[in-house]
Amino acid sequence: MKKIKTGDEITHIIDELPVSKEFTLSSLHLSSSINENTFRTVVSRLVKQGKLTRIRPGRYKKSAQFEQYLFVYGSMKKGFQNHSRLINAEYLGEFTTVGKYVMYADTSNLFPYVIENEKRSSIHGELYKITNADEFKSIDELEGSPTYYYRKQVSVESKEKKQKYSAWIYFRSPTNPTRLRRTNPMSIWEKELAPTVKKQRLSAMFSVKRHSKNSQKDLEEIFNYGDDGMIHLSQMKKGSSIPFKSFQNITFI
């Protein structure tokens, strides 16, 4: 076998493998001079390019087309506000992370975030297979990767623990400019807050006239709520004017 010295030569050998051929570092019978870290760097790059799929840690296969697995735990799950981003993806079921992390709600209580280096519990979510590179790129943009969230592959397993995949997950980035909020830790992001709960929090977000006898009622009359239970500022009652108390509790989507 030709002696391999560089990452480019590793790529060349992988390119010669048949499509969908599974392989590991040992199955390629690479030269002993090949550094394992170099091999991992090469296959990681090929995975990101959509040329390889990581089946599970250490095992890969060539893809006939772009094929990546994404584990979602918050706003992209079924029934949540950003699920439309996965309309063309294949739903594979409910999964949990094999590793332990921690999840908190953000300052708006509309989105969760997971921190990688805090080991508390497995995270519950949904697994999707994405076969369109542009759609995956748009999800990166939605998540503000890598400034707000960074993407990393982790092991996930089905609820029955009969299936295991290596999938991308978005962790909160250390460079995230928003205030870090540590609410009660959770392992699953439930349905969004009910409209009644959100309405109760309006008074903490906005100021109303001092002479108002029922400030909460005034707020409810001024704001309209969509079917999703969210506050749509663009649909405020015409002519209404209310100053913000703080932007900390408001998220613009």
pTM above 0.85, yes or no: no
- Residues 168 and 71 sit within 8 Å (Cβ to Cβ): yes
Domain with CATH 3.10.490.10 in the chain: 68-172
68-172 domain in CATH 3.40.50.720? no
Residues annotated as catalytic are 143
**Phi and psi dihedrals of 217, rounded to 5?**
-65, -40
Pairing relation of β-strands 59-62 and 90-97?
unpaired
Predicted confidence (pLDDT) per residue in 91-104, tens digit: 999 999 999 999 99
Model confidence band, residue 215 (pLDDT cutoffs 50, 70, 90) = low
CB burial of 172-181 (b: ≥16 within 10 Å; e: otherwise) equals bbeebeeeee
Q: Which CATH number is associated with domain 7-62?
A: 1.10.10
Predicted confidence (pLDDT) per residue in 156-211, tens digit: 999 887 899 999 999 999 999 988 878 889 999 986 544 444 444 555 555 555 44
Domain with CATH 1.10.10 in the chain: 7-62
Q: In the numeric block, which tokens belong to residue 56?
A: 């599970």
